[in-house]
């Protein structure tokens, strides 16, 4: 069997599985999820061992800090995965929910009912927790899933999927509901994204190049989970201490993820008061700073930030700083260079905050909080399948409902159209 045929075969089996998994009751699905969680918990040691193999190879190949950070599993991260699955089990089943009902002039009753999407292909970077998070959410929402994780996470993913399936099948998971694309060859992606007769949606998560390639070549509908070029704007009416705390958190707490801050915008009227302390704190945390021309007049020693910096998602302890003349300049900078992911304003002025919330065209816009909260669990959706950076179907943190569609059921008694 060629690679192409193999992928096709898997996808066609996923479609058959989708016809079965959509029939499972909430109780059945929750039982499967809890069994998977317990199995993962028990196999913690083996999982860490498999992950170590992956990490060794990644270090050998000199992968970046951010890359290795995302690849790493720890006891705590495994616990988070397990807790995530249990949380998903505790969430209400979205399938079958009546989303609306209307009785028309001619007596037709039209009911809108939530249904699974069908088959979901998840293509993701070397971040093994996604394997379990995505499977759990797809399962709970009644979908079959095809997983294609980054090749550096092969050992971790292979084992995680094996554990999940072994725990789930005896509890009634239909065969082929969770499938792992075992090959690490790139062509697998090209094939997967064109199987629209079997697959209902492709969810790519990862680097810009990969997302761009998938968007341009897929015939299956795509929900992109891409770049997170997030800004925090410290307004002239900000509480400086609050601003410091939020900016530090947004940049330093976990710099390798998409909701971390990449560019700090500061109003010129507060810059001289705010920036010296802020920069001192960042330097103590080993943040590499780059400043615009105006910033450099205050801190000549900083490296200069160029146009390229405004467009760069560092995903590391690097930060570019820009002093702006007005709220409008901040909004325009964000709408021009941002990735419509997560952006924050720090201000005590309600009117200015509301202007920012309304005109920044991003999925999540914050007032006086860290952008690091852009996350399905933090938004109360249970574990997330990712953070959508497009406007279609699902935007921002995407949980269970993002993995469903709907259908219309029309009840008549002989109505015809005239």
Interacting residues with a copy of itself (CB under 8 A): 102, 104, 108, 110, 117-118, 194, 196, 200-201, 212, 215-217, 219, 221-223, 239, 242, 245-246, 248-250, 253, 357, 361-370, 372-373, 378-380, 390-393, 395-397, 405-418
Residue 418 CB, shortest distance to a copy of itself, in Å, is 8
Minimum CB distance to a copy of itself smaller for 291 or for 396: 396
Minimum CB distance to a copy of itself smaller for 110 or for 302: 110
Which tokens go with 405? 């569609």
Minimum CB distance to a copy of itself smaller for 291 or for 397: 397
Of 185, 135, 186, which is closest to residue 157 (Cα–Cα)? 135
Distance CA(56)–CA(54), nearest Å, equals 5
Residue 104 CB, shortest distance to a copy of itself, in Å, is 6
Q: What is the CA radius of gyration of the chain?
A: 23
Residue 245 CB, shortest distance to a copy of itself, in Å, is 6
Cβ neighbours around 357 below 10 Å, total: 14
Minimum CB distance to a copy of itself smaller for 158 or for 406: 406
Residue 32 CB, shortest distance to a copy of itself, in Å, is 21
Minimum CB distance to a copy of itself smaller for 158 or for 359: 359
176: left (phi over 0), alpha (psi -120 to 50) or beta: left
Which H helix or E strand runs over 322?
strand 318-324
Contact by Cβ (8 Å): 101, 114: no
Minimum CB distance to a copy of itself smaller for 62 or for 407: 407
Which tokens go with 268? 């010129």
Residue 38 CB, shortest distance to a copy of itself, in Å, is 26
Distance CA(122)–CA(333), nearest Å, equals 32
Residue 411 CB, shortest distance to a copy of itself, in Å, is 5
In terms of C-beta distances under 8 Å and separation of at least 24 residues, what long-range contacts does 188-191 make, across chains too? 188/3, 188/7, 188/148, 189/123, 189/148, 189/213, 189/214, 190/217, 191/3, 191/4, 191/7, 191/8
Minimum CB distance to a copy of itself smaller for 164 or for 203: 203
Q: What are the two backbone dihedrals, phi and then psi, of residue 180, each rounded to the nearest 5 degrees?
A: -105, 130
Distance CA(18)–CA(142), nearest Å, equals 7
Helix axes 154-168, 44-60, angle to 10 degrees: 160
Distance (Å) of CA 286 to CA 167, 179, 279, 308, 319 = 44, 42, 10, 22, 11
Minimum CB distance to a copy of itself smaller for 273 or for 304: 273
Minimum CB distance to a copy of itself smaller for 167 or for 252: 252
Residue 162 CB, shortest distance to a copy of itself, in Å, is 30
Cβ neighbours around 15 below 10 Å, total: 17
């Amino acid at each position: 069997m060629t690679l192409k045929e193999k992928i096709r075969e898997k996808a066609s089996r996923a479609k058959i599985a989708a016809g079965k998994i959509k029939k499972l009751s909430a109780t059945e699905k929750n039982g499967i999820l809890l069994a998977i969680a317990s199995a993962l918990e028990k196999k913690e040691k083996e999982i860490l061992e498999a992950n170590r193999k992956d990490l060794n190879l990644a270090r050998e190949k000199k992968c970046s800090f951010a890359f290795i950070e995302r690849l790493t599993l720890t006891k705590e991260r495994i616990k988070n995965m397990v807790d995530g699955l249990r949380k998903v089990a505790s969430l209400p089943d979205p399938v079958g929910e009546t989303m609306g009902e209307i009785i028309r002039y001619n007596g037709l009753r039209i009911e809108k009912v939530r249904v699974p999407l069908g088959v979901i292909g998840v293509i993701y970077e070397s971040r093994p927790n996604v394997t379990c998070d995505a499977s759990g959410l797809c399962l709970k929402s009644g979908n079959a899933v095809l997983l294609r994780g980054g090749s550096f996470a092969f050992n971790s993913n292979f084992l995680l999927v094996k554990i999940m399936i072994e725990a789930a099948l005896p509890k009634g998971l239909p065969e082929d509901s969770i499938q792992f694309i075992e090959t690490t060859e790139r062509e697998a992606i090209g094939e997967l994204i064109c199987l629209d007769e079997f697959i209902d949606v492709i969810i790519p998560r990862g680097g810009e190049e990969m997302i761009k390639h998938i968007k341009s070549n897929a015939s299956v509908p795509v929900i992109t989970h891409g770049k997170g070029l997030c800004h925090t704007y410290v307004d002239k009416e900000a509480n400086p201490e609050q601003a410091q705390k939020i900016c530090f958190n947004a940049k330093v707490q976990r710099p390798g993820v998409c909701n971390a801050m990449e560019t700090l915008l500061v109003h010129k009227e507060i810059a001289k008061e705010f920036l010296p302390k802020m920069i001192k704190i960042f330097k103590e945390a080993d943040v590499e700073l780059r400043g615009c021309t105006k910033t450099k007049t205050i801190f000549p020693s900083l490296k200069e930030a160029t146009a390229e910096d405004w467009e760069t998602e560092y995903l590391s302890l690097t930060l570019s700083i820009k002093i702006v003349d007005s709220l409008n300049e901040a909004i325009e900078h964000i709408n021009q260079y941002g990735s419509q992911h997560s952006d924050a304003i720090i201000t005590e002025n309600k009117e200015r905050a509301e202007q920012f919330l309304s005109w920044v065209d991003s999925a999540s816009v914050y007032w006086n909080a860290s952008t690091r909260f852009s996350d399905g669990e933090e938004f109360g959706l249970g574990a997330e399948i990712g953070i959508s950076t497009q406007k279609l179907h699902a935007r921002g943190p995407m949980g269970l409902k993002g993995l469903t569609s709907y259908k219309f059921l029309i009840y008549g008694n002989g109505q015809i159209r005239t």
